[in-house]
Structure formats: structure tokens, C-alpha cells
Chains A and B, each alone.
Chain A
């Protein structure tokens, strides 16, 4: 299987492209969806379900004792999927860089990553291409798509985006001086994180460094505010009404959106990313999202009641608009569930990393790092 094959190769029984034959266009009122066409709407819906089904499989893998730990992003689909779909995908400074946090499965799938890598990652298999069995679930790394390593410290990615954005701005400036149509034009760095992590200094560093006068950086700085840091609520720790307001002091474009609405997310993300690409300046975007399965397996990984579910809400809108039926939605979900169960059974048979591999990649090309062998 291709390491980074597109998710479209795993087409469920009811795909976005197949939906058009089953709906009546006259029921689709574009104004309900801010002008987004039905193909895009159904594609987003499809990947949102794919992401949820994958996360739920990962949780089952943990709960059946096949993994040590789960942490992930159920509830962030409405924000994460549009983010991935709007990005320039590829490797190197001419494409968008991703500095994601560990709730980024929706974005990663929207970028076309094969879901089997998430299963190998949580099960610590040797064939786990992200970490080689070394790190937690959802700690993705796919250099072919500029998805830089996701780390457990939940703030440092804000600082790292400063470096990739600087490299991009240099490449963008150089390219725009030579060829207006160059592929090197207008790439950006994208950083995601949670509300709790914004208390760390790295978030402030990102705001300061991204807005140095005359040397602004093309970064989409996002905060997915689920109002929790493990068990500590946002309201207990933060006096600011909106995290996005912190950007106002730096004269940067700031906005606060409903991250549970994929339509609003898509439209506002597109506006923001278009602005960053054109102006080569940062945007701070805060998205309200739901944390549907708690912090991680450390807090049980159980579904939380009373929270807005972006998939449930979006499905209701799509059904109301005649773009999909309940049974078709169920069919999509079941198709993904079956697919991920099969992947799990496949990965279950795979071997783990060998004990003697601990020295590998301490230095590049596994140069000797064991002092006993100097």
C-alpha cells in the first residue's frame, strides 16, 4: 500500500463524488452554505466521517488493550478538514508547512494521508512511518506533505512555525521577483494548538516574531479552543474573553469563528489563507470546537454528553438541503468502520521495532551515538 496514498483510494460506499446522483439539485440552496458547492460540501462531510470513524477505531484499539495510550481529535473535524483541503500540499518551502498538535487527524486525512499510518502509529509498529514505534498516537510526521513532527509539548509548534515561515517568505520573495507564476509563490506556515497551550510563552513569541515591523511572516496561527486543558477549564485560567484578541495588540488580522461549523470554517479559513498568501503577513484565528472524547485515554476516552457534535449538526443541514439522506450517511460511516477494522486486523499481525533499533537515528544516517563504541 502506498505510504501516502490519497484517501480517495479508499472510497466508501457513498462518496462525495457519488452523492450528486442521489440528490435533487433543486433542494440545494447555496445561500445556506455561503456559496460552497455541493461537491465540496459532501467531500468535507465524507472526510469528517472518515476522521471520526478512524478516531473511534483508535479508541477501540486502546480500550481492547492493543495500544498503550490514545489522544486525538474527535470534535475538531469541522475545522480540521477545511484546513487541510485549503492547503498547498507538497514537500519543501514552496508548499505549506504544518505545525500541528495532536488533535489533527481531520487535517491529516484531508491532506490525503493513508489512515493505516494512524493505526500503525498507535500500535507502535515497526512500519509506523511517523515515529518507528517510538511515540504516541496522533503524533504524525509526513515530510512528503510538510507535516512536521507533532510533539507532546503543546506549545512549541508555535515557535517552530517562525522558522519555516521565514524560509518560505524568502523563497516567495525570490520567486515573485523572477516569475509571477512560480510554484514558489505564496506558500504559508500553518500552526494549530489548543487554548491551554496559549498560556505558554511560545504563543507570545509567535505573535511577537510574526509581526516584526517590515519582516512579518506568512503564518496562519490558529487556536482550537475546546475550553479545556486536560481537567482545567479555560474560564478558571484565562481572563481574556477571546484568545484571538491577543493579536490585536500586534496590529494583526484576528478573527474568532465557530469551528464546529465546516461551512463557516471553510469560508473564514479561505479568506485568511488568501490574505496571508497575498500579503505575506500573519493571521490569528481562534476556532471554538468540541472535545468529544475528553483529553485522552488518561481521562477515559469516553464520549462526552451535552457538547455540540459538528458531524451531527452538519448532517442535519445536508439532509435538510436534500444533499444527503440519513441512510446514506450511515452507509458512509459503516464503510469506514469496516475499512478501519480490516486495517487494524492487518496491523495487528505486524511486528514491533527491535530492541537494538534504539540507537538508530540518534544522529543522521544512524551515525554511531553509543559512547561505548566510540
Chain B
């Protein structure tokens, strides 16, 4: 099974061959490295850029103005902050020119903790991203979803931000991507660049097929009756593990699309379980889950739930410290998620 980096790579290959992707670019995105997480290795339309995030985003917008489809990368979301006004411009472009121009561009960036990345390789960006109207925001947590969401992002006529949970980029999937070789060894031999000299290497792309995950659709990973957990990115597998092992019946929803989001699936689940816990690793103050929680208590769910909606997120501190004690105290890990689950389940209405 492909890992998420390989899945993204195959999606971009499909995009080059079938969806008119003209440019895949960013710092170290082209040969020889093919991205710091190898998500762009071996692709024909990749190129390396200067170390200039504003130039990367500007070029993507310009290509979009010319009607071209591109996928640009900011190497880590920690370095995206100096492009905020450009992201704002890209988001408001179609609106501010009354529909004269649209931007069919995809911007991808690794997010979150989990690789001992310290202060500048561990940030999250989901709350920031959802504060920029005009962008669609997606965040896969499995290789297959990464493949399907990337194809949808590429084809969408709007700017789409594709957040890559860096802790999950090397995690193998449990489902085959359509057209993926049957064995991990065969896939690796076909598309992974060798160590050392790569000047004569080229990938032998498998005949991957079209497969889309609709933007705006969540996925129920575990069904349950006692509690709904809504998560995405790195904490999601931890939530799923807890749900599988817990004596209570816990429903786990992978949000996948942060904007637009799948309120219908959330509503039905919370209506059923009467309790909800939102889990992500962005800092907790003005966290995106606070909006979802707000919506719960401002709907008729307010009169049905047995427990206040709860948000478990990263601590509101300036960074993620390098030492494991610091990182694990800053963003949700299994023990803290389990504690929150138990707390929510124990609330007596």
C-alpha cells in the first residue's frame, strides 16, 4: 500500500497526464530532491524555486490568472505566514472582480507536529486557513483520501489549500489507490527515486486511475452511539484507536474538508450520540473547532445534547518545543484525548 507521500505523487502524476497541470513548484520540489517529503519526486512538470514563499504564491496566482492549473508548495506551513496577504488576495480575487477571473490553483503545505520538528516545523495552519474566505481547505488523513482530494483540488476552479499532515505522510494506507501495484515492493521500485545519483533515474508510473473525494464531504471511520469525535490530520488515527479500544460506543468522523465542511454528517452523528468532542492540534484560542462547537450550540442540537461540546486542541503557546515532554504537553496525544473522551462521557445531563 502506498503511503501518503506516494499517493500525492501519483495524484500529481495523474494531474499532469489528465488534468492539465502545467507547473508543480516550490522550494526543493523539483529534481533531484522531489520535495522534502518526496511527494513530488519524478514528476515531469516540477521545478525548483528561489527560497521565496511570496514568489511561490505570487507565481501560482499569476498562472491561475492565465488560466493554467498548477500545484505550488510551501515547504512547511510554518513559513507560509509571510504570504498571508497574498492568500487573502487569492481568496478574494473572484469576489472582488465580480467573477471576471478565477484561480484554479492548488497550494499544498505540510502541517502539524509529530516529527519532532520543534518551533518552526510543527505549526498548524487549519484555523488560519479557514479564516481566509474564498479558499477551499482540505486535509486528508489517509493515502487514498489524499489521492482523491488532490484530484478534486486540481480540478476545482477555486483556490484550494491542501494541508498535508506531516506526521502521516509516511504512514501506509489500508486501501489500494486505483491502479496502484499490488505490493509495496513493486510500488517502491516503480516510483521511489534511488539514493545517491538520480540523474539517470526516471519513474515507471503505474496506470493509476481517476478517483475523486468530493470536497465538502466527511467520512465516518467508526460508527458508534455514545459519543462523536470529529477530527482530522495527525490526531485522527489516535482518536480512531481509542474508539476501537474503548468500552463505550464511539463514532469517529474524519472531517477531510474544513471549508466547505460537511455539517449534514456532523449533525446526524451528534443528533444520534448526543455528545461531541472535536480534536485537532491547532492552538486552542479561536480554533476552527470553536466555530463547529458554536454551530452545535446554536442549532436545535443544543436542546438534545447531554454534554457541552468539547474542543481538545493545541495549547495556546507560541510554539511546539523540541523535547518530547514539551511537544506532548502542547498538542493532543493519546492519553490526553482519552482523558477528554472519558470526561465527556461522564457528564451527567
Beyond the given A156-B58, A159-B54, A164-B65, please list 14 additional residue pairs across the A-B interface where CB-CB is below 8 A: A93-B66, A130-B100, A132-B99, A156-B85, A165-B62, A189-B62, A208-B50, A209-B50, A209-B52, A362-B133, A363-B94, A371-B259, A371-B263, A374-B264
Residues of chain B at the chain A interface (Cβ within 8 Å): 22-23, 49-50, 52, 54-55, 57-68, 85-86, 89, 93-102, 133-134, 136, 157-158, 216, 259-264, 291, 295
Asked if A88 is at the interface (CB within 8 A of a chain B CB), the reply is: no
Choose among A129, A151, A189 the residue that contacts B89 (Cβ–Cβ < 8 A).
A151
13 A-B contacts (beta carbon < 8 Å): A129-B98, A129-B100, A148-B65, A148-B101, A159-B58, A162-B59, A167-B62, A205-B54, A209-B50, A367-B158, A368-B260, A371-B263, A371-B295
- Give chain A nearest CB distance to B341 CB in angstroms: 27
A30 within 8 A of B: no
If A141-B101, A163-B64 touch, whether A205 touches B89 (CB-CB below 8 Å) is no
The 10 residue pairs across chains A and B that have the minimum distance between CB atoms = A163-B62, A159-B58, A132-B98, A167-B66, A163-B63, A364-B157, A205-B55, A149-B97, A361-B99, A141-B97
Which of A131, A189, A363 has the most chain B CB atoms closer than 10 A to its own CB? A363
* Minimum CB–CB distance for B100 against chain A, Å: 5
Q: Does A202 interact with chain B (Cβ within 8 Å)?
A: yes
Contact B101 A149 (CB under 8 A): yes
Which residues from B are CB-within-8-Å of A371?
Answer: 259-261, 263, 291, 295
Chain B residues with CB below 8 A from A186, complex form: none
Instruction: Give the chain A neighbours of B22 by CB distance below 8 A.
Output: 167, 170
A212 at the interface (CB under 8 A from B): yes
Chain B contacts for A129, CB-based, 8 A: 98, 100
Are A97 and B66 within 8 A (Cβ)? yes
How close is A211's CB to chain B, nearest CB, in angstroms?
Answer: 11
* Beta-carbon contact of B100 and A163 below 8 Å: no
Residues of A within 8 A of B98 (CB): 128-132, 134, 141, 360-361
Given contacts A164-B66, A166-B62, A363-B134, contact A374 B95 (CB under 8 A): no
Q: Which residue of B lies closest to A171 (CB)?
A: B66
A127-144 to B contact mask, C-beta < 8 Å, 1/0 = 011111011000001110
Query: Which residues of B are found within 8 Å of A202, using beta-carbon distances?
Result: 54, 58
The answer to whether A143 touches B100 (Cβ under 8 A) is: yes
Residue of B55, B93, B261, B291 touching A159 (CB-CB under 8 A)? B55
Question: Given A134-B96, A141-B97, A163-B61: A153 and B133 within 8 A (CB)?
Answer: no
A-side interface size class: 35 or more
Q: Does A168 interact with chain B (Cβ within 8 Å)?
A: yes
Q: Is the CB of B58 within 8 A of A160?
A: yes
A300 within 8 A of B: no
Kindly state whether residue A201 has any CB partner on chain B within 8 Å.
Answer: yes
Flag if A168 contacts B66 (CB, 8 Å): yes
Complex formed: what's the CA distance from A363 to B90 in Å?
11
A369 interfacial by beta-carbon distance below 8 Å: yes
- CB of B275, distance to nearest CB on chain A (Å): 22
In the bound complex, how far is the Cα of B86 from the Cα of A201, in angstroms?
Answer: 12
Smallest Cβ distance from A221 to chain B, in angstroms?
13
Question: Residue A92 at the B interface, CB < 8 A?
Answer: yes
A161 at the interface (CB under 8 A from B): yes
Contacts of B133 in A (CB 8 A): 362, 369
Shortest C-beta distance, B296 to chain A (Å), equals 13
- Tell me the bound Cα distance from A296 to B263 in angstroms: 45
Complex interface: chain A residues within 8 A of B134 (CB): 362-363, 369
Q: Are A205 and B52 in contact (CB under 8 A)?
A: yes
**Cα A11 to Cα B55 with chains together (Å):** 43
> B58 contacts A166, CB within 8 Å?
no
Tell me how far the C-beta of A98 lies from the nearest C-beta in chain B, rounded to whole angstroms.
Answer: 10
Contact residues in A for B64 (Cβ distance below 8 Å): 163
Using Cβ atoms and an 8 Å threshold, which residues of chain B touch A209? 49-50, 52, 55, 59
Query: Which single residue of chain B is at the shortest CB-CB distance from A201?
Result: B54
Give Cα A18 to B95, complex, Å. Answer: 43
Residues of A within 8 A of B66 (CB): 92-93, 97, 163-164, 167-168
B101 x A143 contact (CB < 8 A):
yes
Contact A364-B94, Cβ < 8 Å, known A130-B100, A163-B64, A374-B261: yes
Check if A131 sits within 8 Å of B97, measured CB to CB: yes
Which of A93, A128, A156, A165 has the most chain B CB atoms closer than 10 A to its own CB? Answer: A156
Structural contact, A92 and B67, CB atoms closer than 8 A: yes
Report chain B residues within 8 Å CB of A132: 98-99
Which B residues lie within 8 Å of A128 (CB)?
98
Q: A364-B94, A374-B261 are in contact. Are A162 and B101 (CB under 8 A)?
A: no
Q: How far is the CA of A202 from the CA of B66 in the complex (A)?
A: 19
Given contacts A134-B95, A149-B93, contact A208 B52 (CB under 8 A): yes
Chain A residues with CB below 8 A from B23, complex form: 166
Contact between chains at B59 and A159 (CB < 8 Å): yes
Give A163-182 as 1s and 0s: 1 = Cβ < 8 Å from B's Cβ atoms: 11111101000000000000
